[in-house]
Structures are given as structure tokens and as C-alpha cells.
Amino acid sequence: MRKVLGKGLFIVVILVIIVSVTVSIVEAQSKSFLIDCGSNSSVNVDGRKWVGDMAPNNNVTLSSSGFVVSTSTLSGNSIYDPLYKTARIFTSYLNYTIKGVKGNYFVRFHFCPFVNEDYNLNKSSFGVVANGMKVLSEFNVPLEISDENMELQKSGKNSSSFFLVKEYVMAINVDTLVIEFVPSGSSFGFINAIEIVSFVDELFPGSVGKVGGGNLNLTGRSMETMYRLNVGGSKIQSNQDPDLWRTWEVDSSHMITANAGSGVKNTSNITYASVNDTSMAPLLVYETARAMTNNEVLEKRFNMSWKFEVDPDFDYLVRLHFCELVYDKANERIFRIYINNRTAADNFDVYVRAGGMNKAYHQDYFDSLSSKIDTLWVQLGPDTAAGAAGTDALLNGLEVFKLSKNGNLASVQRYDSADNATSKSKGKVLWVGIGAGVASALVLAIVIVLVLCFCRSRRKASTDTKNNPPGWRPLFLYGAALNSTVGAKGSAGTQKAYGSMASTRVGKKFTLAEINAATKNFDESLIIGVGGFGKVYKGEIDDGVLAAIKRANPQSEQGLTEFETEIDMLSKLRHRHLVSLIGFCEEKNEMILVYEYMANGTLRSHLFGSDLPPLSWKQRLEACIGAARGLHYLHTGADRGIIHRDVKTTNILLDENFVAKMADFGLSKDGPALDHTHVSTAVKGSFGYLDPEYFRRQQLTEKSDVYSFGVVLFECACARAVINPTLPRDQINLAEWAMRWQKQKSLETIIDPHLRGTYCPESLTKFGEIAEKCLADDGKSRPTMGEVLWHLEYVLQLHEAWLNMHNSETSFSSNQVLKVEGLEVLHEPSSEDEEDALNLKE
């Protein structure tokens, strides 16, 4: 009875659609069979006519009728919804036989699991065999849903449903296509629609070059489309690719570091490089690309990398689409292509290969994966052999096809059964948990993971995500999405912290009138600094107390957040080596911060570029120690640790006694929360000081500050700008240049000439070693600020001992060296360390 009612409703829906859709049917250029399963009439969607599988004269024969189910509650997340409102269910073998299909075809199966009174399509499990080729095995849609489809689902916020399209490439050399649907065990299966679209022979070549040499004959091999991406552009819907009806997804979710590549677009006049290429991809794909992010002078020591989850033990065809959109001559952009860490091509110049600018071109590569590898990496990066041109790369589109193996395309190993799901590490498997109603087990697992991570992050603040157990990240991701129970635990904690922080601001609130009086209405002659945030004035507040008054530039977009950050940060931080906030003023759209006045200005101004007398080695060491102490406090003092993010000599200020203090917390971020080992964030900071690892991976840890601090150390020793474009190319970047000398153990060669003969050579050696360690490529191998501080104090002691010896004109004796070295061991916490300890308790 219910079923009949359902059917009646369904017919009404179909009739409404037929009446309301007045789109004329576009005659597709390619031959196609569009089958609406569970229907005996036809329906127009996406401008094409889909014929019911039970409609008369449709060239489709069913071996049995199964059951028809339908829904009326599908909530519009796809143009295909009218198609998806019906499905055919089978509980035993069901064959679809389609006549007149000889040729090359894309065969697409559409699955949209909805709930019906009798069946929850989520719970189906079945296999599909097409002309003897096993394409799906123990297939369950929720299990199969990958991250992109997750997004798909999320994109329609109201939608209670989602869908999945599986696409196969088949060369059919007989006149009929028999699609067998086989339920697994006592389970059942379903199908919403079958789409069969022909393509021209040229779409796939006879043979493809293998990564690492050799060729592979592709003739007659069936394939499954695993990924199809419009790189650097937006999603291309199937109706925007009107010959072959392919969907091109966005690529950013597959990029390991999305900011490594920035979008490039040129819609003018793109043509195909070859007349046979017109169906390779729509021109829309070639109009957008990703090129390596232009990071000015920082050496492009990174790749643009895309990562794909694939099934192990299969062969893959990787198709890369290129179109040079910017340069109109050869030798401007030359790069290397890596597939799974092996070079697939070098000296790759799109302009040369495509035969010009704005020419759509593609290149195929073939790679076999062993049974252990379940990811496919595609990387484009610098080709240093190509000189300056070899520092940029470009990619417009990307497709990954899985090749059949022994008559099989199905991935059984991905999930044997729900029982074994816990042993799998992929994000997908999570859905088993949710789907099968063991969400409570999942919650428990998240609790355990959180607890484990909590303990670990307590022990070691910054380890790498790589060390996390497999599956940890997605687990957390989804866990956070659950939000109600465990996910909320972490965030509620932080929110509370923020809340209390904001309410306990200690600074004084100034009126604008007071500020105007202090700065003589922002008299230009009182300006002592200009930064991204705005201008800094010297002013007199209260009774003659000097202050630095920072006034936000009204045009500064980030101003407000940075302003708030800085107030919040400084309000909860009190330390001898942090510039302290006296107060702030928020009036009439003004954002003004009032700090203690630092009489001697920036450390940089005492190193170079001004007429100030050069600092002695001892003063430089003391300044570095002061700054290190401030940073050490930032990293360890507050309850979560704070990453400064913009450590540089202009943010180290000196007071009247040359005591160094860290300033400018506008970019600061709270350190990793207990459940993260890093903070993911867009790259900010200053060129020349920027941690390359941070740039590559956008993972911010305290070690990014350590890197920048290492650059500060070199700057103190060499007294030159961290980036000086007027120097020869190999000297532009101080970090790279100084590291080359340091690695040859000859830092003294490039030391500030003012220091010559006035410093203890051992102290410089040791100093160089510290700086070198700070600049380690891998954040994990860099020391903590505490260790840096410790070693710098030792350096200072070495130097002071040397100074004492020189002042008393005594000759250098080995005895004293021993004594000096003993200091490292004997080092007692200084009074300042005790102060830090006190601050820690605050």
C-alpha cells in the first residue's frame, strides 16, 4: 500500500517536472545512452533527455525488474535531483543489457542513497560487472564518499542527501553492453541512473610514457576516473563540458600547501595545440592555472604538490593539462614534474611543448603503484638546471585514471567488510562508524586520541603531524565537526581563555583628547617609526612619562584584528623583555596603542643603515639574549605558548640602558592548542626572516620564530640587511649567504668590520653554530628558544672571560679555556631565569 502511494507521488512529481521543464533537447554531438533507473518515462535534466529503464523502445533490457523506490524529499543539491528521485533496487542478480554501444564510452553510474520506507540505501552493498570487467565490489556509497564529495554534501547545507558518480572509460568492441548488478551476500543494491557517453578515439593515446622510462600500450584497457580537477579555477559542472559531460572539481583540497600555488587566469583567445585535442578538456580548464606563488626573493625551494588517495597495486594514468597564460616566449618558465617522488619530466617548458602562448596542451604519464603505496603525489617544482627561468611552474588541469588489472577495476582491499573497518586508517572508514551506528565508538576513539595528543603535546610542544598515527587527522577533523560532545571540549576551553583574557585587559583606556595632547595632534615631527600597522609617535603622557603611541592607519584592513590581537596579547603578558603596553584608545574609529617608550629604538638601527655608533659584540650578545629571553617567555610562559611570527631586528627594541625587548605582537598567534602540534595559517611575516618550512607547509610552530631568530643572529654578526637586492644574486639573502660561510666554518670572513679584533673568536664560532642550528631546514631539528638562550649566555660568558683577559693584558692560557668551558656545565640559573619562572606561574 505504502509502495503504491509512493509510486503515485513519484508519478505526480515526474509529471510536474515534465510539464514545467520546457527546455528543448539539445542534440548531443556524441552518441549517448542516458538511462533513468526505476522509471518508465523520460525526464529532461541538464538539457538532455534521460529515458526510463522501463520505457518502451529504449534499447535497454532488464533481466528482472527488482523493485522501484522513489523519494519526494530529495533536497535540491544537484541538477540531477529529478533523476535521483527514483532508483531501482535489486536483491538478486540484475542485468542491464544495452544495445548498439560499440565504440569508446564513458560509462557513469549515478548513486544517490535516499531513505525509503522499506530501504535505507545507505546500507546497500553490491558489485557491478560491465562486459566482464569488475568495476565495483562490495560497494557501499557512504563508504566510498571521499573528501570532495563530503564538500559536495556540505555545499548544500540543507540537503539531507548526497550523490556519487562513478565514471569508467571503456572500449566496447561488441554491440552490447551487459551491466551486471550483484548484491553482496544477503544485502541489496541500487542504481539511480546510468550514463553512457561516447568519445573519439583520440581522447586516449595508444601508448603512454612510463615514469622512469619505457612505454605502456593502453589499447583496450578499461579505466576508472579517480580525479578530475580544474587546477586554479572553480568547479566545472558537467553541462559546461557539453560534449563529454565531465565534471571538473577544484584542486585546492588536494594541495598539500594550497598557498604554494596561486591562481593565474587569462580567458583570451585560448586554442587547442592540436586539432585532435578538442575533446581533451573544455577550454575553460585551460583558462585558469596555478603557478608557483611569487615569494619575491625567497628562493623557491618548494614544490607545488597535489596528493591523491588511490588504491594500491594498480596502474595509473596521470594526465596533466597545461596552457601558458602569461609568457609569450620560450625559456621563461621551466620546471620539473614528479610523480610519486620520481622525476616524470624535467626541463618542461609549456610554451615550447604547446608551440606558443595560450595553447591548450596535455601530457600523459603512467605509473604503477606497489601494494604498499596508497597515495599518488603529483609535484611540480623548480628545475635548477634551467637557471632563473627554472623557478616557476604551471598547471591548468589534472586527471587521474586507474587502469584495469586482470579484468578488475574494483578496489576490494579498501574495505573488506565493516567488521574490519577499525583496522583501516583511511578517513573514509570513518563513515562505517557513523553509518553503522557505532558513533559512540568513534566518540570514544576521539577521546582517546585527544587524551593521547594532549599528553604528547604537553611533553613535546611541537612534533610534526607526520608522527601522528595514521588516520589521526581526518578523525580529528570529523570529530570536530561532531562538535556537540568531544569536539567542543577543546574549543570551549580556548573560547573561555579568550573570554577571560578580553575581560581582564590591564591597560589604561585613554581618551582621544589625552592622545592628542600627548602627540601634539599627531605632530609629524614626533614620528619615530612607520610600520604596516601605521605610524608610531613619541609622546608624553601623564606627568612627563614618555610613551610610544602607535596609531593604526585607517586604511589598514587587517588593522582591527591585529589591534585586538596586540591588546589581548600584551594584556596577558608581562615580562622584562617584552615591550609593555601602557594602554590603548578606541575612539572615533581610531585604534591607538600606547607603549612604554624605548629610548634607543630598534636593534636594527644600531647595526647598520644609520649614523648611530656600532654596538660592541658584548652589547649585541646582550641584545640577542634579551630578545631570546622575551621569545622564550612567549613560547613557554603563557598557558598555551604564543608564536610571535614576526621576529626581526626592527621588532627588537632597546631601552635607555640597551636592554632589548620584543615588540609588535600584531601578527602573533596563540601557539598550538593541546590537540594540534602546529597552527595552520596563511603565510605572514617578513621576507628574509620567513621560515621556509612554514612557507612550504603553512604550519606554524614556535620553531618558525626560532628560524627568524637565527636570521637575527646572523644580522647581528654581519650587520647587513637580511635582503639586499643590490648585492650579487648569491648574496641577496643573508640567511642563505651567511649559512654558506657558516657551513665552511668561516663566519668571521663576513663579520661586521666594526667588530674585527674586538670579540672572542670562540664566542663567534659558538654563536655561528647556534645560528646555524636555528636555520635548520627541518623545524624539528631546530633548538627551542630556551636552548638558544642557554647557549647564547654561554657565548656571552666566553666573550666576557676573553674581555677580562685582554683587559688585564694576560696571555691566553689553556687553563683558562678549560675554566671557561666549565661554565657551560656550571651555569646557574641567573636571577632573570628565576624571574621567568615567576612569570610562568602568573
Ligand X SMILES: *[C@@H]1O[C@H](CO)[C@@H](O)[C@H](O)[C@H]1NC(C)=O
**Residues taking part in catalysis:** 646
Q: Least distance to ligand X from the beta carbon of 635, Å?
A: 27
- What does the DSSP 8-state code read for residue 255? B
Smallest distance from ligand X to CB 162, Å? 7
What is the pairing mode between strands 534-541 and 527-530?
A: antiparallel
Our finding on whether 553 is near ligand X (CB under 6 A) is: no
Q: Residue from 13, 14, 35, 51 that binds ligand X (CB under 6 A)? A: 51
Residue of 120, 173, 483, 504 that binds ligand X (CB under 6 A): 120
| Residue of 551, 708, 594, 697 lying closest to 644 (CA atoms) | 708
Query: What x-and-dash track marks residues 268-297 binding ligand X by CB under 6 A?
Result: xx----xxx---------------------
User: Does residue number 63 form part of the binding site for ligand X (CB under 6 A)?
Assistant: yes
Q: Which of 723, 721, 717 lies closest to 749 in space, CA to CA?
A: 717
Q: Where does this chain touch ligand X (CB under 6 A) — which range of 18-26, 154-162, 675-683, 793-801?
A: 154-162
CB 500 within 8 A of CB 560: no
Sole binder of ligand X in the list 66, 82, 142, 671 (CB under 6 A): 142
Name which of 286 and 665 has its Cβ closer to ligand X: 286
Closest to ligand X by CB, 424 or 640: 424
In the bound complex, what is the minimum distance in angstroms from residue 673's beta carbon to ligand X?
Answer: 25
Is residue 371 within the footprint of ligand X (CB under 6 A)?
Answer: no
Is 232 near ligand X (CB under 6 A)? Answer: no
Helix ranges (DSSP H) in 719-829? 734-743, 761-774, 785-807, 814-826
Shortest Å distance, C-beta 338 to ligand X: 4
Which of 29, 173, 207, 422 is in the footprint of ligand X by CB under 6 A? 207
* Residue 823 contacts ligand X per CB under 6 A: no
Q: Is 725 in the site for ligand X (CB under 6 A)?
A: no
Q: Does 422 bind ligand X (CB under 6 A)?
A: no
Cell of 350: 609549456
| Identity of the residue, 18 or 178, whose beta carbon is nearer to ligand X in the bound complex | 178
Near ligand X in 172-201, by CB under 6 A: 178, 180
Residues 374 to 403 in contact with ligand X, rule: CB under 6 A: 377, 379, 381-382
For ligand X, the closer of residues 115 and 497 by Cβ is: 115
| Distance of closest approach, residue 730 Cβ to ligand X, in angstroms | 17
Position 95 contacts ligand X (CB under 6 A) = yes
Distance CA 436, CA 434 (A): 6
Residue 58 binding ligand X, by CB under 6 A:
yes
Q: Is 550 annotated as a binding residue?
A: yes
Q: What is the dihedral of CA 100, 102, 105, 111, to 10 degrees?
A: 40
Give the long-range contacts of residues 762-766, CB within 8 A, separation 24 or more: 762/798, 762/802, 762/817, 762/820, 763/617, 763/621, 763/795, 763/796, 763/798, 763/799, 763/802, 764/617, 764/717, 766/791, 766/794, 766/795, 766/798
Task: Quote the least distance from Cβ 52 to ligand X, whole Å.
Answer: 8
A 10 A CB-CB count for 340 gives 20
Separation of alpha carbons 372 and 444, rounded Å: 29
Query: Under a CB-based contact definition with an 8 Å cutoff, are residues 41 and 14 in contact?
Result: yes
User: Does 8 help bind ligand X (rule: CB under 6 A)?
Assistant: no
Closest contact distance (angstroms) between CB of 278 and ligand X is 10
Q: In what order do the strands lie in the sheet with 133-139?
A: 60-62, 94-99, 176-183, 126-130, 133-139
Task: Give the type of residue at 459.
Answer: R
Q: Could you tell me the three cell numbers for 811?
A: 696571555
User: How, if at all, do strands 652-654 and 679-680 pair?
Assistant: unpaired
Residue 73 binding ligand X, by CB under 6 A: no
Edge-to-edge strand order for the sheet containing 375-382? Answer: 304-309, 375-382, 335-339, 342-348
Number of residues lying near ligand X (CB under 6 A): 54
DSSP 733: B
Q: What is the DSSP letter of 311?
A: -
For binding to ligand X (CB under 6 A), which residues are involved?
7, 40, 51, 58-59, 63, 76, 93, 95, 100, 113, 115, 120, 122, 142, 156-158, 178, 180, 202, 206-207, 217, 219-220, 266, 268-269, 274-276, 301-303, 325-326, 338, 340-341, 358, 373, 377, 379, 381-382, 416-417, 419-420, 423, 431, 434-435
Per the annotation, where are the binding residues for ATP?
A: 550
